[in-house]
């Protein structure tokens, strides 16, 4: 039995059995290093990024500790964004599906308050939420944390970056001091260290070496003549490699918007993702990117960090990131789970210093490659395979994925394989359909094929 086998842990047999059925064969490094301490009831600080398996690390600790028969809020998980909170809640439900009646509730900003109060009245074991909204509930007396014995801060550095320090303080103030506290963070600036000192008891530090396997990630370097030339280089690379899902990383929010706008003007299907977007716009952008109806996301590091994008075809660094570790992490977003990814970096002579730092870090030299042919700029710009239809009906209207699929593929319908991802929100649903049948698919829904009613529907 290897040391990374889950069965080396003191885990409930039902949890172990479920891990096997999920296909989790052995622990990831962060799990192997942190789980023994977590299960021992220790406070743990772990360096964990999306993709490392951190959610299962704290999720298994949480499930093992939970007393399901005691119907009280026993664990609180704080996350910087709603997306991350949703992902975490989903993973915990998945890990805990072998234990009956576990109630996991998400409480996030950007969602209506009233229904959350209603759900809280019904009770829960685990709360996953964003700090601002949790603080609001505490202020209104709709949430009580006096039975919490496990507090988890996920992406702690990002919560602080987003200005949640005072909300965190207010929340932690309401949780009994007799508790276990786990903190996951990609980086450890001083601010994090001082928070840890205040809220944790003799924490065990778990550091995990970089997860990236450089051999599966092809690294490419392209030289731009000057800053203005970078956009042309991006266009050439996109036209040459034609990735269905690419992220272009930039260092500033303003730049992401400028580049996304410029790429759109050239006909690319590109959108910006940065912290100043309204949650609703952010959701819509992600829906379209994940379902392959937008090919290019131009993002800042902070905005892209919580993304769980299983297979990015390409990562393009508009410049070398200010921080070399951040840069290497960006590259690691592609080529996950052994897939071949394409990662490239655009640089100018002014960045030679950073380039040699990057080479030192990676322990390899990277030579600049020639740019793809300039003639590509005259060719028609490639388009994403899918188009998103937005339907004005969601969970509240009892619209289910099967209803949408049925409406589209029923009599005289389009083929099942022409229907992509379906995502249902409270009052809206999104379905991706092949670009060539989009108009026809739209008419099928508009003409009252969905649940026998006519829903408003439009291409976005």
Which spans of this chain sit near ligand AMP (rule: CB under 6 A)?
24, 27-28, 31, 50-56, 91, 308
Q: For tokens 């399901």, name the residue.
A: 68
Shortest separation between residue 85's beta carbon and ligand AMP, angstroms: 13
Instruction: Transcribe 226-243 into DSSP letters.
Output: SGGGHHHHHHHHHHHH--
Please say which residue, 36 or 51, places its beta carbon nearer to ligand AMP: 51
Shortest separation between residue 115's beta carbon and ligand AMP, angstroms: 27
Q: Which of 156, 154, 105, 108 is nearest to 129 (CA)?
A: 108
Residues 6+ apart with CB under 8 A from 313: 241, 243, 244, 245, 246, 334, 341, 342
Please say which residue, 87 or 319, places its beta carbon nearer to ligand AMP: 87
DSSP E strands, 72-173: 75-78, 104-107, 126-129, 150-153
Q: Which of 95, 100, 86 is nearest to 130 (CA)?
A: 86
Q: How many residues does the chain have?
A: 460
Please say which residue, 76 or 263, places its beta carbon nearer to ligand AMP: 76
Pairing of strands 44-47, 429-434: unpaired
Residues 6+ apart with CB under 8 A from 285: 271, 272, 273, 277, 294, 297
Shortest separation between residue 155's beta carbon and ligand AMP, angstroms: 10
Please say which residue, 184 or 289, places its beta carbon nearer to ligand AMP: 184
Please say which residue, 27 or 277, places its beta carbon nearer to ligand AMP: 27
Shortest separation between residue 195's beta carbon and ligand AMP, angstroms: 22
Shortest separation between residue 90's beta carbon and ligand AMP, angstroms: 9
Please say which residue, 91 or 283, places its beta carbon nearer to ligand AMP: 91
Residues 6+ apart with CB under 8 A from 13: none
Shortest separation between residue 99's beta carbon and ligand AMP, angstroms: 17
Please say which residue, 158 or 253, places its beta carbon nearer to ligand AMP: 158
CA dihedral defined by 69, 75, 80, 85, rounded to 10 degrees?
-20
Shortest separation between residue 361's beta carbon and ligand AMP, angstroms: 22
Q: What is the DSSP letter of 181?
A: E
Residue with smallest beta-carbon separation from ligand AMP: 55
Please say which residue, 27 or 143, places its beta carbon nearer to ligand AMP: 27
Q: For tokens 């599906």, name the residue.
A: 97
Shortest separation between residue 357's beta carbon and ligand AMP, angstroms: 27
Number of Cβ atoms within 10 Å of the Cβ of 162 = 17
Beta bridge partners of 380: none
């Amino acid at each position: 039995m290897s040391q990374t086998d889950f069965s080396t842990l003191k885990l409930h047999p039902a949890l172990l059995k479920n891990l096997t059925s999920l296909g989790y064969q052995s622990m990831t490094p962060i799990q192997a290093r942190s789980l023994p301490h977590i299960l021992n009831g220790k406070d743990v600080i772990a360096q964990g990024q999306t993709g490392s398996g951190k959610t299962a690390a704290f999720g298994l600790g949480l499930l093992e500790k939970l007393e399901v028969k005691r119907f009280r809020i026993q664990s609180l998980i704080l996350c910087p964004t709603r997306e991350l909170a949703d992902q975490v809640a989903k993973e915990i439900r998945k890990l805990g599906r072998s234990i009956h009646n576990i109630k996991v509730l998400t409480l996030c900003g950007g969602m209506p308050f009233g229904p959350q109060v209603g759900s809280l009245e019904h009770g829960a074991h685990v709360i996953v939420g964003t700090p601002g909204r949790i603080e609001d509930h505490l202020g209104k007396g709709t949430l009580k944390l006096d039975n919490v014995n496990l507090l988890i801060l996920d992406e702690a550095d990002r919560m602080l970056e987003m200005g949640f320090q005072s909300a965190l303080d207010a929340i932690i103030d309401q949780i009994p001091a007799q508790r276990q506290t786990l903190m996951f963070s990609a980086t450890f600036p001083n601010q994090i260290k001082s928070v840890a000192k205040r809220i944790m008891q003799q924490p065990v530090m778990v550091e995990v070496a970089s997860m990236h396997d450089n051999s599966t990630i092809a690294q490419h370097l392209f030289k731009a003549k000057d800053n203005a030339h970078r956009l042309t280089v991006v266009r050439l690379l996109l036209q040459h490699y034609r990735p269905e899902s690419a992220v272009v990383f930039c260092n500033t929010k303003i730049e992401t918007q400028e580049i996304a706008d410029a790429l759109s003007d050239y006909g690319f299907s590109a959108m910006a993702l940065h912290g100043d977007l309204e949650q609703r716009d952010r959701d819509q952008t992600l829906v379209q990117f994940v379902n392959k109806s937008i090919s290019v996301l131009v993002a800042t590091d902070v905005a892209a960090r919580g993304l769980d994008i299983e297979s990015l075809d390409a990562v393009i660094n508009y410049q070398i990131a200010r921080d070399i570790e951040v840069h290497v992490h960006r590259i690691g977003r592609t080529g996950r789970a052994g897939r071949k990814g394409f990662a490239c970096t655009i640089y100018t002579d002014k960045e030679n210093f950073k380039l040699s730092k990057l080479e030192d870090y990676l322990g390899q030299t990277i030579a600049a490659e020639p740019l793809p042919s300039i003639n590509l700029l005259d060719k028609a710009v490639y388009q994403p395979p899918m188009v998103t239809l937005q339907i004005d009906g969601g969970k509240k209207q009892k619209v289910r994925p099967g209803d949408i699929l049925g409406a589209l593929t029923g009599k005289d319908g389009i083929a099942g394989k022409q229907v992509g991802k379906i995502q249902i929100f409270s009052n809206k649903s999104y379905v991706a359909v092949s670009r060539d049948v989009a108009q026809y698919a739209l008419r099928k829904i508009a003409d009252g094929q969905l649940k026998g009613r006519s829903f408003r529907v439009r291409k976005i």
